[in-house]
Amino acid sequence: MYKNVDDAYYDLCGKLLLAPHVGNTYELLNVKIQIADLTNPIVSIRDISIPYLFGELLWYFRGSNRLEFISKFSSFWNHLSDDGHTCNSAYGYIIFHKYGFDQLRKIIDLLRHDPTSRRAVINLNVPNEKVIETKDEPCTVSIQFILRDNKVHCTVYMRSNDIWFGFPYDVAFFTELQRIVALNLSAEMGTYTHMVGSLHLYDRDEAKVRSIVDLPIYKSIKVDMTKFHMSIPRLIEAIRKIDGDPKQILLEKLREFDIIKENDNGSKEV
């Protein structure tokens, strides 16, 4: 059990640097971590891209699979598209629209109906006849929510997770879903459990991860997610209409709407 996401991230980075080398990655198999304190689920011991993080969250919570928006923040998603226009492995699209109903709303209703249910599962990766040919295959298999003693616990299983570009941003989104479920059930946040078949570190990111292990730099980021959700239409409109760098525009709006507050705390011993 890790106290917080920073402790988990630091430990995983150190273990990956000592892990077996497979292809162009260092890889750990069948990794399981559990985090107790989700007060701030954003990794703060590295240079997390706040504009990308919130750009991705906007994309997810819009339920979109169109590349037009997310490609303003990273070209990464373009490489996962089969048609050059959409990415059907976008989590928000799968959760809110792909199957003709809102999976998140359904599991909230389920837990209201039966608080002891073990069926509150969001399915993201399903049988795919074109699994060999496609580039567009979700990394996450499922997200389960369990309500016990008025606490919502969340368990995520991923087939594959990249420690640099994936893990920090994935955990921020998944724990936000957990927070939404807890709020709707008037419950508290329980533990977050993250299980990965293949957790890996790409060779290209080795030096960056090693620098974190050698000397983590803490940058405390306070986030008001309630204000974020209330501001989603205004944030999207600002990015669409205003000329300039969308990352900078989003960062300015996040500060203007009092959604984020950043504080540099410098390096600390871990």
- Show which residues are catalytic: 139
Please say whether the beta carbons of 69 and 249 come within 8 A: no
Kindly give, in sequence order, each residue whose CB lies less than 8 Å from that of residue 163, ignoring residues fewer than 6 positions away.
Answer: 9, 12, 13, 16, 199, 200, 201, 205, 209
Helix (H) or strand (E) holding 233: helix 225-241
CA 153 to CA 36: how far, in whole Å? 10
Give the three-class secondary structure for 187: coil
Please say whether the beta carbons of 119 and 157 come within 8 A: no
Nearest to 146, CA basis, from 189, 176, 206, 186? 189
CA 95 to CA 103: how far, in whole Å? 5
Nearest to 102, CA basis, from 66, 138, 68, 60? 60
CA 14 to CA 28: how far, in whole Å? 11
CA trace torsion 98, 104, 105, 106 (10° rounding): 80
Kindly give, in sequence order, each residue whose CB lies less than 8 Å from that of residue 79, ignoring residues fewer than 6 positions away.
Answer: 135
CA terminus-to-terminus distance, the chain = 17
CA 177 to CA 104: how far, in whole Å? 8
